[in-house]
Structure 1
Amino acid sequence: MAKQHFFEKIAPLFEKGGKLEKLFPLYEATATFVYSPRFVTARPSHVRDVIDLKRVMILVWMAVFPAMFAGWYFVGAQAAQAQGMADPGLIANLWFGAKLHLPIYIVTFAVGIAWEVLFCIVRKHEVSEGFFVTSILFSLTLPPTIPLWQVAIGISFGVVLGKEVFGGTGRNFVNPALAARAFLYFAYPAQISGDKVWVVGPDGYSGAT
């Protein structure tokens, strides 16, 4: 309750006429991420529930976690196989894959959410939690050896030209994660296609199995 009271206390600063009015999308995204919004549907025939679109998107984001963990494991297992080593075990494989994937995901999320917030501030829209899903799906389609600067360029293309130029969430006609992936495929085919880019070899770089 103390946190909720804090958000309610500082709300006037971000509302229309407040000193931080332009940062309202950031405030709204943070406040509604921590607590469910106070606005509820009052007319039929909608089902009244505490869950909203933001919570649905977060649940979808979390639903991808098993696939992400499986990806970590197989990246580690394939790397060990490429080096002629015995399977180091579940935890070691997960850790190896996580070390390769997490930097990709962090760059994807940081760059993508920066674009999202920028467009929301300019348009005075709420930040959509749909990017949680976009970010994790995009990062999981990339090989573990891809340069991080290409990750940043790819997600920028997907968010800006795949979604925001059409008006943002709900108005785009292509999936931003797939648009970003397609852009990288045609712009940098050597780093994103073929069998060698998916397995980390003995020298720490990609290599054939």
Structure 2
Amino acid sequence: MNFLKNFFEKTEPYVQKGAKYHWLNSVHDGFFTFLFVPKKTSKSGTHIHDFIDMKRTMSIVVLALIPSLLFGMYNVGYQHFKVIGELASTGFFDIFLYGFLKVLPVVIVSYGVGLGIEFVFAQIRGHEINEGFLVSGMLIPLVMPIETPLWMIAIATAFAVIFGKEVFGGTGMNIWNPALLARAFLFFAYPAQMSGNSVWYSFSENAQTIDGFTGATPMAEAAAGNITYTVSDAFFGFIPGSIGETSTLAILLGAVVLLVTGIGNWKIMFSTVAGGLFMGILLNIFAGSQGLSEEAATFFGIPFWHHMVLGGFMFGAVFMATDPVSAAQTQKGKWIYGFLIGVLAILIRVLNPAYPEGMMLAILLMNTFAPLIDHYVVQGHIKRRMKRAKVAA
């Protein structure tokens, strides 16, 4: 790596202000600080420096996403060959290779469009390149159905970066999680391409003519009153769904990485799961109530722990709700924020038959209210301290 470091150090004078290639300063600095720890030091005040800077933090999150990405690639191939009836005769490598070739273009488009926009805004403003898209660029493909056209991925990514981040000032200033904003944009702008049975499978030309094909996700089947999955398949991820959201096991491996390194917030993860379990148990209690249709009673009666392994619940709890920018910042606020996400996600799933998921809307809604939660937590602390001060006086 020394030759790369020498290259960046030798070319640095050429991109400084007033130099010939000054307009490349942000790009040069972005790549250098991504590969190596920045050599900048504080110029005033007292600061404690750590080798874990923002780029290293984002890199660890990307590393935690790798298990979900790799299994998502395999599951894309698995579901494809299962649909066309060739699963038994297809080897592991061929299944994974098929999924790899289908998912890779989505990842490339996401990073290409997003980083391109980030570079342009950084150059226009004369700022350093923001690091946040290192994670968003991976999250966006993982929350998309495999049959989402690449041009839609590009539009959604551009929308998320420009209107979800840059208009608020860039990384660290955004109100909503950019990856979920990209999915929400597609869900409401192109509902026909983001819902229905066929979007969860990668079809070949021959597969399109298969008679009697049904391909709804287990979440949609459950909403219709049909339980067509096993808990083990849902846990390991051998079910239809968005690219990176199907395998709870792969997601938990990523959670371990985030928790061991101290990057992920365990309070938000734990409280989100607790909120989901609470609402699931509550709905199970009301499953036998009078006045519910047979279909509604079936969805109400889904064992509460099944919600944890279906849809995007665990993926959202581990990678989306814990976004350090759009989540609550106070310690007590994190408990409230996560718990409400879990409650709302299950509530939307069960009570809204037109949208049997809920995690995306729950997180975006709580992103909006996170500052309000922090405000009341801080005000509560101030009132208690003022009360203690009066008593002491």
Q: Structure 1 length as normaliser, TM-score?
A: 0.91
Whole-angstrom distance in 1 between the partners of 2:113 and 2:204: 31
Contact 1:82 1:202 (8 Å CA) reproduced = no
Contact 2:59 2:134 (8 Å CA) reproduced = yes
In structure 1, stretches of 5+ residues that fail to align are none
Spell out the pairing of 1:9-20 with structure 2 (5 A cutoff). Answer: 9-20=10-21
Contact 2:84 2:207 (8 Å CA) reproduced = no
Whole-angstrom distance in 2 between the partners of 1:194 and 1:40: 54
Whole-angstrom distance in 2 between the partners of 1:202 and 1:29: 40
Q: Call closer, same or farther: CA 1:99–1:23 in 2, change over 3 Å.
A: same
Contact 2:83 2:207 (8 Å CA) reproduced = no
Larger RCO, structure (CA 8 Å, separation 6 or more) = 1
Q: Where does residue 114 of structure 2 map in the other structure?
A: 112
Spell out the pairing of 1:128-207 with structure 2 (5 A cutoff). Answer: 128-203=130-205
Contact 1:201 1:208 (8 Å CA) reproduced = no
Whole-angstrom distance in 2 between the partners of 1:143 and 1:193: 9
- Amino acid corresponding to residue 74 of structure 2 in structure 1: Y
Matched-pair identity in % = 40
Whole-angstrom distance in 1 between the partners of 2:120 and 2:86: 47
Cα deviation, 1:43-65, whole Å, max 9, x if unaligned, reads 6573x432311111111112101
Cα deviation, 1:117-156, whole Å, max 9, x if unaligned, reads 0000011111122211101100111111111111111100
Contact 1:143 1:198 (8 Å CA) reproduced = yes
- Amino acid corresponding to residue 176 of structure 2 in structure 1: V
Q: Call closer, same or farther: CA 1:119–1:13 in 2, change over 3 Å.
A: same
Whole-angstrom distance in 1 between the partners of 2:148 and 2:169: 30
Contact 1:163 1:176 (8 Å CA) reproduced = yes
Asked whether 1:208 is paired with 2:210, we answer no
- Amino acid corresponding to residue 60 of structure 1 in structure 2: V
Whole-angstrom distance in 2 between the partners of 1:205 and 1:131: 36
How far apart are residue 83 of structure 1 and its match? 0.7
Contact 1:199 1:208 (8 Å CA) reproduced = no
Whole-angstrom distance in 1 between the partners of 2:105 and 2:172: 29
Whole-angstrom distance in 1 between the partners of 2:162 and 2:206: 33
Task: Provide the aligned length of Structure 1 versus Structure 2.
Answer: 208
How far apart are residue 40 of structure 1 and its match? 4.5
Asked which structure has the greater CA Rg, the reply is: 2
Greater displacement, 53-62 / 155-164: 53-62
How far apart are residue 91 of structure 1 and its match? 1.8
Greater displacement, 90-99 / 181-190: 90-99
Greater displacement, 32-41 / 4-13: 32-41
- Amino acid corresponding to residue 85 of structure 1 in structure 2: E
Whole-angstrom distance in 2 between the partners of 1:40 and 1:89: 53
Contact 1:134 1:177 (8 Å CA) reproduced = yes
Greater displacement, 100-109 / 197-206: 197-206
Q: Call closer, same or farther: CA 1:162–1:62 in 2, change over 3 Å.
A: same
Whole-angstrom distance in 2 between the partners of 1:136 and 1:205: 29
